[in-house]
Amino acid sequence: MADTLTPVLTADWADEQSWKLATYERHGGYRALGKALAMAPDDVITAVKDSGLRGRGGAGFPTGMKWGFIPQDNPNPKYLVVNADESEPGTCKDIPLMMATPHTLVEGVIISSFAIRANKAFIYIRGEVVHVVRRVQAAVDEAYAAGHLGQNIQGSGYDLDVVVHAGAGAYICGEETALLEGLEGRRGQPRLRPPFPAVAGLYASPTVINNVESIASVPSIIDHGADWFASMGTEKSKGFGIFSLSGHVAKPGQYEAPLGITLRTLIDLAGGIRHGHELKFWTPGGSSTPILTDEHLDVPLDFEAVGAAGSMLGTRALQIFDETTCVVRAVLRWTEFYKHESCGKCTPCREGTWWLVQTLTNLEKGIGREEDLDLLLDQCDNILGRSFCALGDGATSPISSSIQYFRDEYLQHLSNRGCPFDPVASTVFAAEGAAR
Amino acid sequence: MTEVSTTEGGLSEATYAELRQIAARYPQPRSGLLPMLHLVQSTEGRVTAEGIEACADILGISTADVSGVATFYTMYKRRPVGTYHVGVCTNTLCAVMGGDAIFERLKEHLDVGNDETTEDGAITLEHVECNAACDYAPVMMVNWEFMDNMTPQSAMELVDDLREGKEVRSTRGPRIATWREVERVLAGFPDDLADEGPGAGPASLVGLDIARRRGWTAPGTGSAGAIGSTADTAGEAAEQADTSRAETETKQEEGQHDG
């Protein structure tokens, strides 16, 4: 039985100049690379498969299996693309990782590229975080200078070049095929699948796209072994992950723990809900995962149990809201986000998110009708499963789940002819008087 | 930045050369388009018609193709941006924690609307979507550097300092450069600021602090922060010292929030 918290990826974040190569190597950095380069690439894939690592970007697809889908007999070059476009509302784990210990990611990129036999890798970082871009650029430069990148890495005969690529502001580019479009210099609109990126991805060549945290977990798996990784977590959700608590808790922040920890334990570690208040609703994995309530405090936070509770583990982005928060306001704001970020490619999402905002706005202002709730659910029904990618599906999650748990609060807005909540009461400066 | 004279309203030769340099980083040149447009913004202050033509020319695609890309991504601006781009996160979590109040206060204080620039050209104000710093809510971004744990009051002081030309530092990053300088970094031409600022802010470390205090580690990895290595007594002592300092800082941090 592992400890409650298991810092691995976060273990060195507090170090002086934690982002430098020298600091990383002092903690055994690039030792796993040496081990990997002495292995057959297929054995590296097997180790990651055996570890049970599942994608940390939200979908939870087994990472080693994804690598195994790369057709090695395809004559085109193979590519590794790191999805560092962290933008899902509530998600804030990859950005601090790349800022504090970018070499964990760079070492993971080299090992992963070696495994899938790629000689070119791209790290696609969202553009709105320039200091993170700087740190990753600098880490890649240091890795080249140390012989961890470039030609004949560590004398192994293996070559790899890495390009750090900054995006330009588009949530949709977190969707892997839209990211590839962005990386090819096009509008970030998702592609129809099949073909899957493993067969025809970047430049129609075999491509693996993995989340930052997935790739950063690889060096520890190679260094300590697949069994070590699999000794943490639950039966089908192995290993550790970074849980990001935000909102109305005493100590918001990053908590790295085995998958399966509960929100009750995490809130307890975070010093409880902010003083004098109680939990009202929360997202387990970002705004695209249906909201949950205090009845779900003891749900193990792994892929299976959160799914069984009617939501998704997603990115472990635990946004916590107390009883001062108006759920209708919260959901309207997320819906406006999806409307803004809809790429426009498919009609259900492009038009549907527009309709959702109109209907929700009326409800929030108290000028709608009770039938609008059924209209909203009908609109959701016309988007969910009918849009091109998961953005449309995600847009419906907060709406349908909030109506499920808080239907009365929607109706209150109608009987009250407006929002019954005081927005100042939810702010961090509430105690200091109105909007100090 | 190197100052080079521009040729008849177009981009300078040096900029053309750097645009080509970006395209050459990729197996297929068009992959360079996003960073190339960042570079255009850096030298021209926005995405100009000349900038679009230059990208199209270098990549051998139509200006319509380039415009299609430039209008898709929100960081590309068709109107001039101020010296400082000030973003306020108004996605749900930050909005609820105070982002809405901050954005309202700044619009009033600067006398501008969303995506507008102050008359002196110093500040462009824009509400932004989730910037992946939710544990520091409410969050603002100045030229895409983090400004954590803001209030309406601290936000006003921040923009006043920027307008007065005082040096402003990111709460988790370096001194704030100009918007154009930052766009150059995003184009893939690093500046010398990577080593400024901390590795992690206080909220990023709360879980690690608790694990260290309680002696929690991943199996077989010894003390937290020393994976695979055995800490000697002196090392452990130093670690304890680190922990108590972190605790004090955490308490101070809490004090600030309560106050």
DSSP code of B95? I
Coil, helix or strand at residue A87? coil
Q: Do B134 and A92 touch (CB under 8 A)?
A: yes
For residues B142 and B93, is the Cβ–Cβ distance under 8 A? no
Nearest CA in chain A to B224: A11
Residues 6+ apart with CB under 8 A from A90: A244, A246, A283, A285, A286, A287, A315, A317, A318, A319, B93, B130, B134
Amino acid at A264: R
Q: How confident is the model at residue B221 (pLDDT cuts 50, 70, 90)?
A: confident
Domains B13-70 and B84-186 alike in fold? no
Q: Do B27 and A77 touch (CB under 8 A)?
A: yes
HEC profile of A313-368? CCCCEEEEEECCCCHHHHHHHHHHHHHHHCCCCCHHHHHHHHHHHHHHHHHHHCCC
Same domain, A73 and A190: yes
Distance between CA atoms of residues A398 and A401, nearest Å:
5
Give the residues across from A54 on adjacent strands.
Answer: A62
For residues A209 and A165, is the Cβ–Cβ distance under 8 A? no
Q: Do A184 and B28 touch (CB under 8 A)?
A: yes
List chain B residues with CB under 8 Å of A276.
none
Surface of A (411-430) touching B: CB under 8 A: 423-424, 426-429
Model pLDDT for residues B159-194, shown as the tens digit of each residue: 999 999 999 999 999 999 999 999 999 999 999 999
Q: Do A91 and B134 touch (CB under 8 A)?
A: yes
Low-confidence stretches of chain A (pLDDT < 70) are: 432-436
List chain A residues with CB under 8 Å of B68.
187
Tell me: ipTM over 0.95: yes
At B244 the pLDDT is 37
pLDDT exceeds 70 at position B4: no
Model pLDDT for residues B44-89, shown as the tens digit of each residue: 999 999 999 999 999 999 999 999 999 999 999 999 999 999 999 9
Q: Is residue A349 part of a domain?
A: yes
Which residue range forms the structural domain that includes residue A127?
A: 21-230
At A1 the pLDDT is 72
CB atoms within 10 A of CB B57: 13
Surface of A (264-293) touching B: CB under 8 A: 269-270, 287
**What's the total number of domains in chain A?**
3
List chain B residues with CB under 8 Å of A4.
214, 216
Same domain, A92 and A224: yes
CATH of the domain spanning B13-70: 1.10.10
- Residue that wins the pLDDT comparison between B3 and B97: B97
Same domain, A290 and A206: no
Nearest Cβ partner for B224 among A11, A28, A171: A11
Confirm whether pTM is higher than 0.90.
yes
| Arithmetic mean of pLDDT, B23-27 | 98
Give the residues across from A255 on adjacent strands.
Answer: A243
Q: How confident is the model at residue B10 (pLDDT cuts 50, 70, 90)?
A: confident
Q: Do A337 and B91 touch (CB under 8 A)?
A: yes
At B9 the pLDDT is 57
Q: Touching check for B24 and chain A: CB below 8 Å?
A: no
Same domain, A249 and A121: no
At A387 the pLDDT is 95
DSSP secondary structure letters along B112-142: --TTEE-TTS-EEEEEE---S-GGG-S-EEE
- What percentage of chain B reaches a pLDDT higher than 90? 81
At B233 the pLDDT is 37
CA-based nearest distance A317→chain B, Å: 9
DSSP secondary structure letters along B49-87: HHHHHHHHHHHT--HHHHHHHHTTSTT--SS---SEEEE
Q: Touching check for A117 and chain B: CB below 8 Å?
A: no
Domain-terminating residue out of A230, A256, A271 = A230
Q: What is the CATH number of the domain that holds A115?
A: 3.40.50.11540
Choose the CATH number for B84-186 among 3.40.190.290, 2.60.40.10, 3.40.50.720, 3.40.30.10: 3.40.30.10
For residues B129 and A89, is the Cβ–Cβ distance under 8 A? yes
List chain B residues with CB under 8 Å of A273.
none
List chain B residues with CB under 8 Å of A2.
218-219
List chain A residues with CB under 8 Å of B130.
87-91, 337
DSSP code of A191? P
For residues B147 and B128, is the Cβ–Cβ distance under 8 A? no
Domain-terminating residue out of A179, A198, A230 = A230
Domain-terminating residue out of A322, A355, A381 = A322
Same domain, A342 and A368: yes
Q: How confident is the model at residue B232 (pLDDT cuts 50, 70, 90)?
A: very low
Residue of A119, A217, A251, A402 to mutate for B, most B C-beta atoms under 10 A: A251
Same domain, A70 and A143: yes
At A170 the pLDDT is 96
Surface of B (190-219) touching A: CB under 8 A: 190-191, 193-195, 197, 199-211, 214, 216-219
DSSP code of A190? P
| Arithmetic mean of pLDDT, B130-142 | 98
At B222 the pLDDT is 60
List chain B residues with CB under 8 Å of A171.
129
Distance between CA atoms of residues A274 and B86, nearest Å:
29
Residue of B62, B115, B186 to mutate for A, most A C-beta atoms under 10 A: B186
Q: Touching check for A166 and chain B: CB below 8 Å?
A: yes
CA-based nearest distance A400→chain B, Å: 17
Mean pLDDT over each residue of chain B, to the nearest integer: 87
Q: Is residue A344 part of a domain?
A: yes
Domain boundaries along the sequence of chain B: 13-70, 84-186, 202-258
Q: Residue A261's closest CA among B93, B211, B213?
A: B211
Residue the block writes with tokens 């560590």: A154
Tokens encoding A24: 């990383």
At B27 the pLDDT is 98
Same domain, A209 and A245: no
Q: Is residue A260 part of a domain?
A: yes
